[in-house]
Structure 1
Amino acid sequence: MTSSLRARAEQALRACGAADDHPAADGELIARTPLDGSVLCRLNPSNPEQVSDAIDQAHQAFSRWRTVPAPQRGVLVRRLGELLTEHKADLADLVTLEAGKVTSEALGEVQEMIDICEFAVGLSRQLYGRTMASERPGHRLMETWHPLGVVGVISAFNFPVAVWSWNTALALVCGDTVVWKPSELTPLTAIACDALLRRAARDVGAPDGVHRLVLGPGPVGEQLVDDPRVALVSATGSVRMGRTVGPRVAARFGRCLLELGGNNAAVVAPTADLDLAVRAVVFSAAGTAGQRCTSLRRLIVHASIVDTVVDRLADAYRQLRVGDPTEDGVLVGPLIREQSWAAMASALERARADGGTVVCGGERLDRAGVYVTPALVRMPAQTEVVREETFAPVLYVLGYDTLDEAIALHNDVPQGLSSAVFTLDQREAERFLAADGSDCGIANVNIGTSGAEIGGAFGGEKETGGGRESGSDSWKAYMRRATNTVNYSDQLPLAQGVKFGG
């Protein structure tokens, strides 16, 4: 199987025009597949000089790219979208090989890239400013938006290409250039995407340095964080990473866009459509083997139905097929690496010590790679282990009596990314969405916590970092605002009626 997986990776890279990019027979950066833990290839990580050169090339290209009219910048992103569509299957195969996603999820991630390109192309003609009423006669007050500079993108393994595209498509139409540091666990998907974007730039005559790729572990990202030529650092990862990145970027007065941890919960009310709720919960909790930042980790169920819900979930969990994500019918692929299983096993041990009961799952399969059965855990209370994010398929179930109690439980965690309520009672739904309801950046009704669409702004509050990416007005993070006052009169009235001179 190892040789066939390696051959598939090479074929996909070759199809994307990246077969000869970054080769290294004895490179220190090892691209492995979680499907069986084998090595796909070895690469040379970027050294400090190469990272600095990449930033410099992007910085130089920015001086040209920012003056290109935004609709023309959109032509580059349109071409990228066309190439992504052409190579959708190739990229999806790399996503499966490197991140372990089942085929439909991998294809869905690439489709998300195509969708954000379409969104960004439309946005290139809608970078609107405002005109405001001036208090002074013969004056016009307005605001304009301008390109920001080099955007450093640091992405995580679980969405190895989609999150990059959210940032890059918007940054490019906003007039910025990009330096991308992907997860060291998923370098091949990044190499393929970089090759396609470089091809798109050649096809439309865009400056060569509008996008640069750098590879390697933490120190590579630290250069992006600390370099004053990088105007915005968009970083996706752990809360621990964010605690380092945020202050360091702020120390040089740069901008930061953080997408960090999520300990997402759903409330199941007595009026919920349980058929719908169970389907949504199973996908949100077990999809991508629980390795989404929006994965459902806590289920807060009304006491009158909690036993029924747990029984139905347990039945569904026992029917989930875990295994090779390329096989038909498999819904749960592997964890990314051994450390993920260690964290999951530790969390389950702590949950049992806190009085929890593992209803089903939580076992490792005897095969190459890290394959586990999603765990369903009944908890007597929201203990410390429940309040922590474990990046694995562990779902804790808690009971509640009143909606106020459910919302209090929901909000009593450090993270604030995604949330949901299942109810057919409009009052309960509106209460959950109100200012004193869910404290998350994403709050849903009768749909799970994962699977956000690109049209809405994506991100969360508290330890999730406060950043917003993708749709809505997230583009404003990639631009700088200027307030303009134009005096078209022959007088010089001062604001607030101030008098100066004779």
Structure 2
Amino acid sequence: MKLQSYVSGQWQEGTGSGVTVNDAVTGKPVCEVGSEGVDFAAMVRHGRDVGGPALRAMTFHERAAALKAMAKHLMERKEDFYTLSARTGATRADGWVDIEGGIGTVFTYASLVSREMPNDVIMVEGDVERLSKGGSFLGRHVLTSKPGVSVHINAFNFPCWGMLEKIAPSLAAGVPVIVKPATPTAFLTEAMVREMIAGGFFPEGAIQLICGSTGDLLEHLLEQDVVTFTGSATTGRKLRTHPNLVTNSVPFTMEADSLNCAILGASVAADDPEFELFIKEVAREMTAKAGQKCTAIRRVIVPAALLEAVANALQARLEKTTVGDPGAEGVRMGPLVGRDQALDVRASVERLASECEVIYGGQETFPLTGADNSSGAFFPPTLLRCDDPHGKTLAHEVEAFGPVSTLMPYRDIDDAIAIARLGKGSLVGSLFTYDDTEARNIILGTAPWHGRMLIINRDCAAESTGHGSPLAPLVHGGPGRAGGGEELGGLRAVKHYMQRTALQGSPTTLMAITSEYHAGARTYSDEMHPFKKYFEDLQVGESLLTHRRTVTEADIVNFGCLSGDHFYAHFDEIAAKDSFFGKRVAHGYFVISAAAGMFVHPAPGPVIANYGLENLRFIEPVAPGDTIRARLTVKKKIKKARRGEEKANGVVVWAIEVTNQADEPVAIYDILTLVERRED
């Protein structure tokens, strides 16, 4: 069987012979992979000219809904993916991280985008920058979709998650994707993409797939395109310096394999819970996905006094790891992805052994369950020991991308930090300690060399996701050897595919562009109270100026009794004179409560509920005898998807300004209300 690419709206089989991919367990052929004959220029044009405009016409919320529907569809077919995943050498637990972890990331982005991004095609970022004394000239940052394509060149170890964690933020941003999976596991990626295409969740041209070489694809990319890469640092450097990418300043994000470390704190004793947690985590990271993880622990940094204890405990735990066919009962670690990968790992171990001692594993033949050493791509869990981590440097330079780690001792905290830094940049490091002072010192010393740091102790271990688990809300990437890039990190990943532009102009013009009210913009009002209007009828900039109210002594006393707030500035005349205010003042919360009483319409209407209050600032004090009024202005509107039997609604954000008798602002804030929509 030859895998097909999805190009310009059609499934296309490469011409000529491709690369044969074999089953990692049996060594038998699975498929051929080749992209010869693909018109890569047409592929890029199709994404830009067909997929891009249709995708950008959708709002962020519509794209989020499409992501959610696609994730549901993929989850319903997960067992088909698990069957294929086993042929890559993955156990069920390995496949869960890749398949359901990847789909879960799509769900997370669907929720994140619908919750934190506007139901629009433009996103306002940050606060207003006032650029003039009178306030007639403002600055604002906005994010818009890049009108190009994003090319994702992925590694073999996570054929599902590696694809999904990149395409979810790209599609959410409105940028079509071209997915290029690694050849050894492309058959699993292809099966998942087929389901994406068949479901029709996104417009034609939004998702394309290359099974095989990228050919001259990079030659056709321009300044609005984006490239992401996951894999070896050597390959990444070649791609990053591609002449066309350099000429057109094409953004390039690289996530490379790194020599990640785990540090056992100097304060930890052999009978502490943190010691056992450390042993479990190192062993798990060595054997999960047969050690084929860019986040796997490669360097195990421990106090010199505990080196023997750690070595013995790790060997005892690794002895319990059953290696073999992932489909066989009791197997906890499968083979590497292919024979070539097994040969590469063996060569790397032999190189490491020239400076380190192999204290466990490393042999060519070893017990297997449901398989034998003559077929497949099996390699045993292997532990090395480097007693001189400063003088013998190969453990900080050579990565055996399999179930291989190296033990190394440190003298004190400063030495542990120095050893960790020798990795020259890592995706993740982990620290096991119950001493918070020790944790702070080590993190401050190592954080600049790591994209993520995990601190584990008895308090959080039960709920920890572990050393090797990148999570959608947190950045994934690292400095130096790790590639210097970032993925995930919540909305940071979506923004990577968008252009940040600083706008300068009048409040009214910026309001028209951003669909968000800015102080100083022209407002308008009519005879109908805005709380009597449906969501669709309200317009950004629509305003209501309330009647006045004079604050009295009785107001302050009554509010204090009702709330229980008898702070001296409200009740003690003598103390208040010596205070910051110089006189007695009303409660700040009374002021905003009184403002609500002035602008709320009491009769039933389309306003369903108060949804929250944000950005509250008290500007000037309000004293007995002062007169206040409020201005209510529609700041922005967020249309919400209808759920079940609930009334169709949206969130309206209202800018509130409370002023005194001198027209000076005394309080400013935003309130959010749920407002009923007319039936669609």
Output the TM-score relative to the length of structure 1: 0.87
Aligned counterpart for 2:388 among listed residues 364, 381, 388: 381
**Aligned equivalent of 1:28:** 18
2:358 and 2:326 map into 1 onto residues whose CA distance is 25
Partners of 1:116 and 1:470 within 8 A in 2: no
SS at match of 1:380: coil
Partners of 1:270 and 1:305 within 8 A in 2: no
Say which is worse superposed, 327-336 or 306-315, in terms of deviation.
327-336
**Aligned equivalent of 1:443:** 453
Partners of 1:302 and 1:401 within 8 A in 2: yes
**Aligned equivalent of 2:260:** 264
1:25 and 1:480 map into 2 onto residues whose CA distance is 38
User: How far apart are 1:106 and its partner, in Å?
Assistant: 0.3
Partners of 1:288 and 1:333 within 8 A in 2: yes
SS at match of 1:353: coil
User: How far apart are 1:21 and its partner, in Å?
Assistant: 5.7
User: How far apart are 1:291 and its partner, in Å?
Assistant: 0.8
Matches within 5 A, 1:205-244: 206-217=202-213, 219-220=214-215, 223-224=217-218, 227-228=221-222, 231-244=225-238
**Aligned equivalent of 1:499:** none
- Structure 2 counterpart of 1:106, one-letter code: G
Partners of 1:224 and 1:230 within 8 A in 2: no
Q: Percent identity?
A: 22
Partners of 1:89 and 1:107 within 8 A in 2: no
SS at match of 1:259: strand
1:402 and 1:208 map into 2 onto residues whose CA distance is 59
SS at match of 1:434: helix
Aligned counterpart for 1:413 among listed residues 423, 426, 441: 423
**Aligned equivalent of 2:443:** 433
Q: How many residues align?
A: 467
User: How far apart are 1:72 and its partner, in Å?
Assistant: 0.9
User: How far apart are 1:341 and its partner, in Å?
Assistant: 2.6
- Structure 1 counterpart of 2:418, one-letter code: A
**Aligned equivalent of 2:595:** none
User: Structure 2 vs 1, CA of residues 135 and 228 (structure 1 numbering), >3 Å: closer, same or farther?
Assistant: closer
Say which is worse superposed, 160-169 or 187-196, in terms of deviation.
187-196
1:322 and 1:194 map into 2 onto residues whose CA distance is 31
Matched, 1:111 2:100: yes
User: How far apart are 1:26 and its partner, in Å?
Assistant: 7.5
Say which is worse superposed, 446-455 or 362-371, in terms of deviation.
446-455
2:209 and 2:280 map into 1 onto residues whose CA distance is 39
Matches within 5 A, 1:245-324: 245-248=239-242, 249-272=245-268, 273-324=274-325
Q: Deviations over 1:237-257 (max 9, x none)?
A: 110111111122233211111
Matched, 1:484 2:473: no
User: How far apart are 1:436 and its partner, in Å?
Assistant: 5.2
Partners of 1:456 and 1:470 within 8 A in 2: yes
**Aligned equivalent of 1:141:** 139
User: How far apart are 1:305 and its partner, in Å?
Assistant: 1.1
Output the TM-score relative to the length of structure 2: 0.65
User: How far apart are 1:226 and its partner, in Å?
Assistant: 5.2
User: Structure 2 vs 1, CA of residues 225 and 328 (structure 1 numbering), >3 Å: closer, same or farther?
Assistant: farther
2:171 and 2:278 map into 1 onto residues whose CA distance is 39
SS at match of 1:475: helix
Taking only aligned residues, the RMSD between alpha carbons, in angstroms, comes to 2.4
Matched, 1:466 2:492: no
1:456 and 1:317 map into 2 onto residues whose CA distance is 30
SS at match of 1:66: helix
User: Structure 2 vs 1, CA of residues 349 and 489 (structure 1 numbering), >3 Å: closer, same or farther?
Assistant: closer
2:328 and 2:162 map into 1 onto residues whose CA distance is 26
1:152 and 1:225 map into 2 onto residues whose CA distance is 12
- Structure 2 counterpart of 1:476, one-letter code: K
SS at match of 1:389: coil
Q: Deviations over 1:111-161 (max 9, x none)?
A: 122221122212333235123231312123211111122100111100111
**Aligned equivalent of 1:199:** 198
User: How far apart are 1:415 and its partner, in Å?
Assistant: 3.5
1:105 and 1:264 map into 2 onto residues whose CA distance is 19
SS at match of 2:449: coil
Say which is worse superposed, 404-413 or 30-39, in terms of deviation.
30-39
Q: Deviations over 1:162-188 (max 9, x none)?
A: 011011111111111001111111221
2:15 and 2:98 map into 1 onto residues whose CA distance is 30
**Aligned equivalent of 2:361:** 361
User: How far apart are 1:483 and its partner, in Å?
Assistant: 1.1
**Aligned equivalent of 2:171:** 172
1:92 and 1:386 map into 2 onto residues whose CA distance is 35
2:223 and 2:34 map into 1 onto residues whose CA distance is 24
More strand by share: 2
User: How far apart are 1:344 and its partner, in Å?
Assistant: 2.7
Q: Unaligned regions of 5+ residues in structure 1, if any?
A: 1-5, 14-19, 491-502
Aligned counterpart for 1:77 among listed residues 47, 67, 71: 67
- Structure 1 counterpart of 2:237, one-letter code: R
1:330 and 1:25 map into 2 onto residues whose CA distance is 39
1:258 and 1:189 map into 2 onto residues whose CA distance is 23
2:80 and 2:349 map into 1 onto residues whose CA distance is 37
Aligned counterpart for 2:379 among listed residues 365, 368, 372: 372
Greater CA radius of gyration, 1 or 2?
2
Matched, 1:122 2:117: no
2:98 and 2:232 map into 1 onto residues whose CA distance is 21
Q: Unaligned regions of 5+ residues in structure 2, if any?
A: 5-9, 118-122, 269-273, 366-372, 457-463, 510-680
- Structure 2 counterpart of 1:414, one-letter code: K
